[in-house]
Structure 1
Amino acid sequence: MKISNLKYCIPVALMGLGFSSCEDFLDRPKEDGYVVDQFYQSDEECAQGVNYLYSMPWNDMLQQLYHITEDLAGNCHESGDNAPFVLFSVDGSHAKIRSCSEALWQTNAHCNTVYGLLKGANASSYAKERAMGEALTLKALAYFYIVRLWGDVPLVHDNGSEIGAGISNTKPKVDRQDIYEYIVMTLEEALRLLEGKKYEPGRIDYYSAEGLLAKVLLTRSGLGMDGSRNQDDLDAAARYAKDVIDNSGRSLLSNYEDNFKLEFNKNEEALITLAWYGSRDPWTANNYLQQEVGMNGFDSYGQCWGDWTVPSVDLQEAFGVSPLRSPEQNPSADTRRKATMMMPGDVYSQFWRNKGGFDYLRFLYDEEYAPGKTYQLNSGTGANQVKHLYGNSEDHYQGLGYYPQEQANGLATHLLRLSDIYLIYAEAVIGNNSSTSDASAIDAFYAVRSRAVHGAIRPASVSFDDVWKERRLELAFEGDRWFDYVRRSYYDAAACSRELESQRRSTYYGLDDLYKTYYETGRWEVTSSVRYADEMEPNITVDKSKYTLPLPETDIVFNPSLMKDPIRVDVRSEYSY
């Protein structure tokens, strides 16, 4: 087995991983499923022992986080059980909040356990340090999600020792300033361990950790501030991001859309990637986001239910398109639009390759082309999602060399891409100014924009608003936009609230008839029955408290200390690696 082969290849010694209680944020992987002294006996086993951290612990988080963040950010429209996120009316009893919290704390626990086991591995220092650096980077990433979602949270450094001390149900919340410092400290140790280690596609390396550190510092720069950001954090974020850009040897893929194709699961633009396998055994090694966002009938098994998990009207307008315009009238200069959402006229060569490609309108209305469909548009916004789709089983086979299973595919999920680092660098250089004419910042911004937008002209300066808008288009449906709002809310919540409250979060009437007529006759006839549902526009209020989610009720029942005010902790003197 090659060390770089992530798949779901969990060493036999770790196959017994599980949890004794889903309510305890101190839960750690059970150790009765493996014998420690029979594993971590070679360099290869060190790598294998980290492999599963790239998939299994994150599985449930991925599904829940996708709905939570994209709905809150106004990129996605949903109704039913997920409507509270669109409407900012969610509470701690919501199942997605509970599941997302459990998964992230479990990820932290797995990373802590594997890191501890690697310390005693009978292997070379090189192999041990690289694997430990990978585990710490993923631990830091899990905590980065946790602190941005819930703010003040407990700090769990070593699950085993803390469970042994009997403090699992009295653990206090720690001020998020100190949580951020702990994340920074963790990433600094990961950098020390990963420095000088050879890059292997699909695996975390020094520049993966450095890019994440840049993002963490940019986020922290506004914490506790009012209208401006901490210059030291901005400067450090810029420095780390620039080092990744200049020295990682990575570059942007020439075609934006390639980032999300099976054939590019391991690519040089991806800095941190979750690696899945299209098998239900074990269940948590699989990716099933296609089922969450794909239209019914899109995959080989008919197991998609995402007809109503659709791109918002607001996101469409951010791309400059509208479902009321014919395909010929909607602008096509920004290739990210088609790579993000399907609209009339769109055809995809990477999907349904055994049928000559996937035609959006034909799929909606041609029974011979898509048997078993309802043959109507179910999306109230006139568009459907593209990212996180792999196509049908033949597409999966052509991309990865094996067939998927029901609700189980091997399409990678990129959690940190190089284009993000380019925009982080540009924003950090702008800092507390409204814009910059710094050539390197302009180059970074232009590299991202010119890759996606045909005919883009290099600007003479770049403003914060330019970067803010570019981030939305570049990273839509990658679970990132809500965290842009969280980061900005630390120092300018009013601006975030104004923008969120003004978003178009409703749907249209009459689009199915409009689309069907166009498909059958070629006539684009927008009649009075085709209109935006203004009267259904949600009247949302986003005050500063909305930028953190409520803690899961189950966690509070288990640990009443979570209702108390957070404490301050000198993490660098209290904890060490």
Structure 2
Amino acid sequence: MKTINQLTWKACLLVLSAGLLFTSTGCNKFLDTERQGAYDEENYPYPGGSGPYDQFIFGAYNDLRSFNLHSQSFITAVSIRSDDADKGSTPADGGANALTMDNFPVLPSNGFLNTIWLGNYSLVTKCNSTIKEVNTNATIVAPEQIKQQTLGEARFLRAYAYFNLVRYFGSVPLIDSLFSDPAAQNNVPQSSAAQLYAFIESDLTFAAANLPLTWDAKFAGRVTRGAANGLLAKVYLTQKKWAAAQAAAQAVMASGVYDLSTPYDKIFREEGENSRESIFEVQATASAAIPSANGVQYAQIQGTRGAGDWDRGWGWNTPSVQLEAAYEAGDPRKNRTIMYTSTATTTYQTIYGETIPVGLPNPRYNGKVATNPSIRSAIGNRFGYWMNVRLLRYADVVLMFAEAANEVGGTANIEAARVALNSVRARARAGNNSVLPDVTTTDQELLRQAIRQERRVELAMEHDRFWDIVRWGIAQDVLQAAGKTNFSNSRDVLLPIPQTQIDLSAGVLKQNPGY
């Protein structure tokens, strides 16, 4: 866990990515604190295992915390659009932009779309800039291994951005270099989804070959070989490339770096950040002196909307009744995921023992963003900017392996899928053998449904549900059953291309069908 009075190397990246040049005297221990990964007199020009290209790649990492990438629009697009969650807050909060993300159709003029577009393409640009510096900046001397490692980081983050974009919008412009005239970027025609997926696979394959298995602890959060293989497994799974997905997931599982030893209750606490469960996690930090500038607004948007100490956020992204009903009896993950507002007859508490008041606007909130009261007090801030965003967990990879192995089929693969599935259930039951019994079926279709159900509850409120039901081909049935009756499979599996971007392209960009 990050200590309260420290900034991690990600805070240092804010200074580096701003383009400041340091002399041989170093960073003078910014703010006179001993921060993880900070450059100082002892380790400048760069710490062991890192490199002189940090001043460029840190700009890309910094974008992961931007409002445009992992805050309001992200939450609405990946969670509120699904049957996991409702918009929450008050009925009018967010206006038509938010309401149509919840109930469809999303219009091309929706402001959230342009935010998503800009956030992901900003990350692409930062990655392309880093790649250019590594490949062409002759003033920087570095070992070849450091060059390839930095290229691996940049290409991983670029692949992540394009994986987002192709799932959000389908066909989008593929931009793999910088333009001398940035405005010319607006006139690049769209590449097909097949072309985009081939590009993503190439970037991630390169990253997996050139990234380290682990980093020094001072660099917690920098992407690894496991992150590249884990994301590659998800890219393959999305395309139904089952054998390739199984192999990529197996590479993560065989690495020895990750496991299911972190209790489910602990994963989402501040103390559970960057645990052996964590594969790709957006790093955020805060201190009493800097309570928000080095963080991400992800937790605040989902925090309780109340009065006084219970004014912890906007109250968006509230767990749905459909999610509430999805858990098996006694599954401990339900109470860890869903935080209930107290009623006149029932008192509920947070995971930290705080009594939740009666009268909050919504009956349920996302318990996975609940913050530690001692940390709120020490920082003097209620809004959780210091909470990391978990983008890829080990349990997700294990369940991807299970799904892919089951789809490949054959007795050995189906058995391997069943064992992997049961390992996730075993961690979830936390030693209570009266709940979540092992799945015993070896029937491929029954196991398929069991794996899908396990993804639903294990990864609830964690950005995967919408993509899962789309790739399984069940989105229309599921969402209409959840009351989102305007959803149409022929239109709403993709968001519309933002009208702002079509206008900037002078019509080069073409709108998605149905809009």
Give the one of 384, 389, 393 matched to 1:417.
Answer: 393
Instruction: Give the Cα separation in 1 of the matches to 2:411 and 2:171.
Output: 32
1:10 paired residue number: 13
1:52: Cα distance to partner? 4.6
2:321 paired residue number: 313
Instruction: Give the Cα separation in 2 of the matches to 1:303 and 1:478.
Output: 20
Q: Is the 8 A contact 2:497 2:512 kept in 1?
A: no
Give the one of 397, 420, 426 matched to 2:402.
Answer: 426
Q: Is the 8 A contact 1:436 1:463 kept in 2?
A: no
Amino acid at match of 1:452: A
Instruction: Give the Cα separation in 1 of the matches to 2:295 and 2:481.
Output: 38
Please list the CA deviations of residues 83-136 of structure 1 after superposition, one character each: whole Å capped at 9, or x if unmatched: 212212211111211111111111111122123223444233333332332222
Instruction: Give the Cα separation in 1 of the matches to 2:388 and 2:153.
Output: 17
Instruction: Give the Cα separation in 1 of the matches to 2:131 and 2:309.
Output: 40
Q: Is the 8 A contact 2:85 2:320 kept in 1?
A: yes
1:500 paired residue number: 479
User: Is 1:388 the counterpart of 2:396 in the alignment?
Assistant: no
> Counterparts in 2 of 1:362-511, with a 5 A limit?
363-364=357-358, 376-379=359-362, 382-392=363-373, 394-396=374-376, 403=379, 405=381, 407=383, 409-431=385-407, 438-453=414-429, 454-455=432-433, 456-460=436-440, 461=442, 463-488=447-472, 493=473, 495-503=474-482, 505=483
1:565: Cα distance to partner? 9.1
Instruction: Give the Cα separation in 2 of the matches to 1:282 and 1:459.
Output: 46
Instruction: Give the Cα separation in 2 of the matches to 1:540 and 1:564.
Output: 20
Give the one of 189, 210, 217 matched to 1:193.
Answer: 210
1:334 paired residue number: 331
C-alpha change, 1:142 and 1:284, in structure 2 (3 Å) is farther
Please list the CA deviations of residues 25-72 of structure 1 after superposition, one character each: whole Å capped at 9, or x if unmatched: xxxxxxxx5569999964454446434533434422211111222121
Query: Which runs of no fewer than 5 residues in structure 2 stay unpaired?
Result: 1-6, 27-43, 341-345
Report the 3-state secondary structure (helix = DSSP H, G, I; strand = E; otherwise coil) of the residue aligned with 1:314: helix
Q: Number of residue pairs matched?
A: 457
Q: Is the 8 A contact 1:137 1:187 kept in 2?
A: yes
Instruction: Give the Cα separation in 2 of the matches to 1:404 and 1:277.
Output: 13
1:546 paired residue number: 492
Give the one of 218, 223, 231 matched to 1:212.
Answer: 231
Report the 3-state secondary structure (helix = DSSP H, G, I; strand = E; otherwise coil) of the residue aligned with 2:390: strand
Q: Is the 8 A contact 2:270 2:371 kept in 1?
A: yes
Report the 3-state secondary structure (helix = DSSP H, G, I; strand = E; otherwise coil) of the residue aligned with 1:169: helix
Amino acid at match of 1:348: T
Instruction: Give the Cα separation in 2 of the matches to 1:445 and 1:314.
Output: 22
Instruction: Give the Cα separation in 1 of the matches to 2:281 and 2:453.
Output: 24
1:117 paired residue number: 133
Report the 3-state secondary structure (helix = DSSP H, G, I; strand = E; otherwise coil) of the residue aligned with 1:122: coil
C-alpha change, 1:348 and 1:554, in structure 2 (3 Å) is same
C-alpha RMSD of matched pairs (Å) = 3.1
Report the 3-state secondary structure (helix = DSSP H, G, I; strand = E; otherwise coil) of the residue aligned with 2:184: coil
Instruction: Give the Cα separation in 1 of the matches to 2:108 and 2:222.
Output: 35
Instruction: Give the Cα separation in 2 of the matches to 1:564 and 1:293.
Output: 31
Give the one of 63, 69, 75 matched to 1:56.
Answer: 63
1:258: Cα distance to partner? 1.2
C-alpha change, 1:199 and 1:134, in structure 2 (3 Å) is farther
Report the 3-state secondary structure (helix = DSSP H, G, I; strand = E; otherwise coil) of the residue aligned with 1:416: strand
1:183: Cα distance to partner? 0.1
The sequence identity of aligned pairs, in percent, is 24
Q: Is the 8 A contact 1:211 1:421 kept in 2?
A: yes
User: Is 1:241 the counterpart of 2:249 in the alignment?
Assistant: yes
Q: Is the 8 A contact 2:299 2:369 kept in 1?
A: yes
C-alpha change, 1:125 and 1:413, in structure 2 (3 Å) is same
1:75: Cα distance to partner? 1.2
1:314: Cα distance to partner? 1.0
C-alpha change, 1:77 and 1:418, in structure 2 (3 Å) is same
1:561: Cα distance to partner? 0.8
Instruction: Give the Cα separation in 2 of the matches to 1:309 and 1:565.
Output: 26
C-alpha change, 1:383 and 1:565, in structure 2 (3 Å) is closer
2:81 paired residue number: 72
> Counterparts in 2 of 1:244-263, with a 5 A limit?
244-263=252-271
TM-score of the pair, normalised by structure 2: 0.80
Instruction: Give the Cα separation in 1 of the matches to 2:52 and 2:237.
Output: 36
C-alpha change, 1:178 and 1:92, in structure 2 (3 Å) is same
TM-score of the pair, normalised by structure 1: 0.72
- More off after superposition, 465-474 vs 288-297: 288-297
Report the 3-state secondary structure (helix = DSSP H, G, I; strand = E; otherwise coil) of the residue aligned with 1:204: coil
Q: Is the 8 A contact 1:278 1:404 kept in 2?
A: no
Instruction: Give the Cα separation in 1 of the matches to 2:76 and 2:375.
Output: 26
2:158 paired residue number: 139
Amino acid at match of 1:186: D
Instruction: Give the Cα separation in 2 of the matches to 1:106 and 1:302.
Output: 32
Report the 3-state secondary structure (helix = DSSP H, G, I; strand = E; otherwise coil) of the residue aligned with 2:492: helix
Instruction: Give the Cα separation in 2 of the matches to 1:498 and 1:408.
Output: 36
Report the 3-state secondary structure (helix = DSSP H, G, I; strand = E; otherwise coil) of the residue aligned with 2:172: coil
Report the 3-state secondary structure (helix = DSSP H, G, I; strand = E; otherwise coil) of the residue aligned with 1:113: helix
1:346: Cα distance to partner? 4.0
Amino acid at match of 1:6: W
> Counterparts in 2 of 1:154-173, with a 5 A limit?
154-160=173-179, 163=181, 167-173=184-190
1:479: Cα distance to partner? 1.3
2:37 paired residue number: none
Instruction: Give the Cα separation in 2 of the matches to 1:262 and 1:84.
Output: 33
1:93 paired residue number: 109
Instruction: Give the Cα separation in 1 of the matches to 2:232 and 2:23.
Output: 34
Report the 3-state secondary structure (helix = DSSP H, G, I; strand = E; otherwise coil) of the residue aligned with 2:191: coil
1:533 paired residue number: none
1:417: Cα distance to partner? 0.6
Amino acid at match of 1:259: I
Please list the CA deviations of residues 350-383 of structure 1 after superposition, one character each: whole Å capped at 9, or x if unmatched: 3xxxxxx2123xx22xxxxxxxxxxx1421xx32
User: Is 1:266 the counterpart of 2:274 in the alignment?
Assistant: yes
1:14: Cα distance to partner? 2.0
2:194 paired residue number: 177
Report the 3-state secondary structure (helix = DSSP H, G, I; strand = E; otherwise coil) of the residue aligned with 1:141: helix
Instruction: Give the Cα separation in 2 of the matches to 1:301 and 1:136.
Output: 41
Give the one of 111, 120, 126 matched to 2:145.
Answer: 126
Report the 3-state secondary structure (helix = DSSP H, G, I; strand = E; otherwise coil) of the residue aligned with 1:431: helix
